[in-house]
Amino acid sequence: MGYTLRIGEYSATFHDEDGETYISQNAQDQEHHGAPAYGEPTDHTNSRWPSYTSWADFTRFVGLEKLFAELLREHPGCVPLVTRHKRAIDAAMQRMQAQYPGVEPAMSEGFNEGDPRPYLARLTWLSYWVDWALDNCQYPVFYNS
């Protein structure tokens, strides 16, 4: 099992079920040919499908546990993105680049303990889409299901 994570413009739809009206929140799908891509089914998109364990390992490795405790506080959930989220991600990127100079982001066959490349790949994806959402969306959000 795992997450569907999406970063982008807020969207909501109403639907009726058994006489009750419900609202579903989401982030609109986006695909950019210049967006990060590392050989995954979601390459170039604002979505990722990590397992719960691999995402927890990622947040620990890059030092973003506190940020994701907030962003994933409700599951499923949809949380507005703000500048302080970007600052936390930028700080994590600076730490990773300082600790692993010259290392290029890349996904590998599974996550090998101590290999920073897949964590840097996820961080690069996260940074790209948070920056894009804050610059281009009226209501930027981080969505998870």
Q: Is 144 part of a structural domain of the chain?
A: no
Q: What is the pLDDT of residue 142?
A: 98
Which residues fall within 8 angstroms of residue 49, CB to CB, at 6 or more apart? 2, 3, 4, 5, 41, 42
- Is 145 contained in some domain? no
CA distances, 84 to each of 33, 53, 81 (Å): 27, 25, 8
Asked if residue 55 is part of any domain, the answer here is yes
pTM of the model: 0.92
Backbone φ and ψ for 47, nearest 5 degrees, come out as -120, 150
- Residue 37 within a domain: yes
What tokens appear for 48 in the block?
Answer: 């990722």
Boundaries of domain holding 32: 5-139
Number of domains in the chain: 1
Q: Assess if residue 69 is contained within a domain.
A: yes
Q: What is the pLDDT of residues 91-139, one digit of tens each?
A: 999 999 999 999 999 987 655 667 999 999 999 999 999 999 999 999 9
Q: How far apart are the C-alpha atoms of 74 and 128, rounded to whole Å?
A: 23
